[in-house]
């Protein structure tokens, strides 16, 4: 099982995508990334290389630092220390180059609530500098594939949780980014919508693009991802191709519990008051 090692050293010039230890280009390269909130260290100096053209899962228990890491990688949160390169461009030194190449579906997605789904995509297209007719064409296709065509004129404020995820995903995909970052994309999404989202993402990665998504749902990560990074306590515990990280363990879930040191944790006797037979 490969533990997190140092990122292969050397400065990377803007636009040059470095090789990963597993071959191929790196979509994302993280070097010595730190973030502290007061006394709380959220991300404790991580190095990570995510290969291009893969379906990558970032997994970890609650509070592991996944959202903080994704926020720093996508330019939403400034690191205390360290550097992030996306497609060879420095996220903080060259934000426009990076933001034109990425799509983001963040946690706690904020949308323009008083626009309809269709208007939201039109607005995103303009922000991205896309020609109106191309935006219209792509918006129609995305709304159709994501099963939102019937709700396209409804205000976003009236969308359900799953519909919000789907319109957020459409907005993140509209400009055909090289790398797509998704924070818990399947949370609150029903199985039918999840299957739809999954189909769109599989098609997207099959064309050579990269998806990086965070999730707690190991079965989902195991069935979707070919590459995983496991985070706990603000550090990367393991990262690499799925089969390597899973190692001898029967499932990714078992490997994960072993890696984050929770394999033997049970309620034990500490909840002996709980249940029908206990004294009330
Ligand atoms: N804005 C903030 N202010 C203070 N502490 C924060 C802030 N954001 C995150 N933290 C802390 O940093 C740590 C990492 O949080 P983060 O949200 O990155 O974890 P996570 O892996 O995404 O967790 P979850 O799976 O529960 O969403 C936690 O201890 C959290 O309490």
Provide the ipTM: 0.97
Q: Which atom of ligand 1 is nearest to the CA of 70?
A: 18
Structure confidence by residue, pLDDT tens digits, 90-100: 999 999 999 99
Q: Which helix (H) or strand (E) holds 202?
A: helix 191-206
Q: Is the pLDDT of residue 220 over 60?
A: yes
pLDDT at site 134 = 97
How far is the C-alpha of 100 from the C-alpha of 127, rounded, in Å? 10
- Give the pLDDT band of residue 21 (cuts 50, 70, 90): low
27 and 51 in contact (C-beta within 8 Å)?
A: yes
Phi-psi region of 188 (alpha: psi -120 to 50; beta: other; left: phi over 0): left
pLDDT at site 19 = 60
Average confidence (pLDDT) over 61-86: 94
Among 200, 253, 264, smallest CA distance to 230 is for 253
Is residue 194 situated within a structural domain?
A: no
Q: Which atom of ligand 1 is nearest to the CA of 38?
A: 4
- Give the pLDDT band of residue 109 (cuts 50, 70, 90): confident
Q: How many domains does the chain have?
A: 1
Percent of the chain with pLDDT over 90: 62
Helix (H, G, I), strand (E, B) or coil at 212: strand
pLDDT at site 102 = 96
- Give the pLDDT band of residue 20 (cuts 50, 70, 90): low
Domain that holds residue 225: 20-101+217-262
To test the pocket of ligand 1, the residue of 33, 34, 36, 37 to mutate (highest count of ligand atoms within 8 Å of its CB) is 37
How far is the C-alpha of 153 from the C-alpha of 150, rounded, in Å? 8
Average confidence (pLDDT) over 111-130: 95
- Give the pLDDT band of residue 22 (cuts 50, 70, 90): low
Is residue 175 situated within a structural domain?
A: no
pLDDT at site 266 = 60
Structure confidence by residue, pLDDT tens digits, 172-192: 999 999 999 998 888 888 888
CATH code of 68's domain: 3.40.50.300
Is residue 39 situated within a structural domain?
A: yes
229 and 263 in contact (C-beta within 8 Å)?
A: no
Among 101, 136, 105, 106, smallest CA distance to 121 is for 136
Average confidence (pLDDT) over 220-228: 91
Q: Is the pLDDT of residue 108 over 70?
A: yes
To test the pocket of ligand 1, the residue of 59, 60, 67 to mutate (highest count of ligand atoms within 8 Å of its CB) is 67
Q: How far is CA 93 from the centre of its chain?
A: 22
How far is the C-alpha of 142 from the C-alpha of 121, rounded, in Å? 10
Beta bridge partners of 50: 28
Q: Is the pLDDT of residue 42 over 60?
A: yes
Structure confidence by residue, pLDDT tens digits, 128-167: 999 999 999 999 999 999 999 999 999 999 999 889 999 9
- Give the pLDDT band of residue 10 (cuts 50, 70, 90): very low
Helix (H, G, I), strand (E, B) or coil at 224: helix
Among 222, 235, 111, 123, smallest CA distance to 175 is for 123
Is residue 272 situated within a structural domain?
A: no
Find the 83 Cα to ligand 1 centroid distance in Å.
20
């Amino acid at each position: 099982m490969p533990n997190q090692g140092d990122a292969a050293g050397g400065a990377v010039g803007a636009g040059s995508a470095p090789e990963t230890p597993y071959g191929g280009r790196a979509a994302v390269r993280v070097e010595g990334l730190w973030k502290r909130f007061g006394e709380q260290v959220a991300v404790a100096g991580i190095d990570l290389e995510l290969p291009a053209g893969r379906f990558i899962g970032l997994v970890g228990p609650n509070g592991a630092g996944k959202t903080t890491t994704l926020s720093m990688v996508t330019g939403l949160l400034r690191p205390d220390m360290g550097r992030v390169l996306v497609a060879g461009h420095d996220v903080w030194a060259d934000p426009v180059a990076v933001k034109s190449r990425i799509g983001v579906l963040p946690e706690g997605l904020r949308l323009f609530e008083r626009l309809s789904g269709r208007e939201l995509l039109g607005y995103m297209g303009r922000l991205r500098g896309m020609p109106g007719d191309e935006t219209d064409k792509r918006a129609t296709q995305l709304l159709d594939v994501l099963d939102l065509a019937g709700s396209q004129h409804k205000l976003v404020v009236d969308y359900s949780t799953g519909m919000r995820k789907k319109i957020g995903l459409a907005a993140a995909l509209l400009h055909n980014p090289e790398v797509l970052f998704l924070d818990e994309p399947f949370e609150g999404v029903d199985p039918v919508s999840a299957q739809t989202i999954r189909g769109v993402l599989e098609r997207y990665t099959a064309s050579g693009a990269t998806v990086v998504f965070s999730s707690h749902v190991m079965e989902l990560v195991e069935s979707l991802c070919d590459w995983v990074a496991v985070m706990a306590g603000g550090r990367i515990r393991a990262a690499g191709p799925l089969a390597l990280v899973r190692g001898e363990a029967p499932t990714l879930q078992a490997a994960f519990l072993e890696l984050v040191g929770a394999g033997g944790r049970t309620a034990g006797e500490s909840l002996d008051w709980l249940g029908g037979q206990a004294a009330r």
